[in-house]
Structure 1
Amino acid sequence: MKVYYHQKHDLLYITLKEANKVRNERFKEDIVFDIDKDDKIVGIEILGASTYFDVKNIFTVTIEQEN
C-alpha cells in the first residue's frame, strides 16, 4: 500500500494494489475509487483531503505486505 499527499492540490491518494487498467467510480463528490478489471478497489483518491485529515502530519509512505 502506498499513501501519497499532494499539498498543492490538497489531494490524498492511496494505492491498495498496482493495476494497469482501472475505471473510476465516484463514491462522494470528493472521493473517487479506482477499480480494476476484477471489480476490486485498487486505489482511493480524496480531493480536498485537508477537510478529512490533519494533513500537516501526512507524508508519503509505502507499506509492503509480508508473505
Structure 2
Amino acid sequence: MSDDQFLTPEEVSKRYRDTVTVGTLENWRALGIGPSYIKVGKAVLYPIEELNAWDRNNMVVCRKSKVIGRSRITDG
C-alpha cells in the first residue's frame, strides 16, 4: 500500500479547501454517504481514485448559454 495513493481525513479536508471538514467526513461515514474509504485498524484512508470518481459524480454541468455577452448599442 503506497502512501501517495491514499489521503487521511485531514488531507481530504485540505483537498477541498476546508469546505468539507474532518467532522463532516466522520458524519458522512456514519451515515454511509460521501466518498468511499477504507479502514485499516483505526485508520481511515480515502483512495485518491475514489475521491476523483466522487468528484466526477458530483460535478454540476451547466447548460450552454445562448447569449455569451451583451451587445451595447450607442448613438453616434
Taking structure 1 as the reference length, the TM-score comes to 0.28
In terms of fraction of residues, the more helix-rich structure is: 2
In terms of fraction of residues, the more strand-rich structure is: 1
Taking structure 2 as the reference length, the TM-score comes to 0.26
- Larger relative contact order, structure 1 or 2 (CA cutoff 8 Å, min sep 6): 1
Q: Which is higher, the Rg of structure 1 or of structure 2?
A: 2
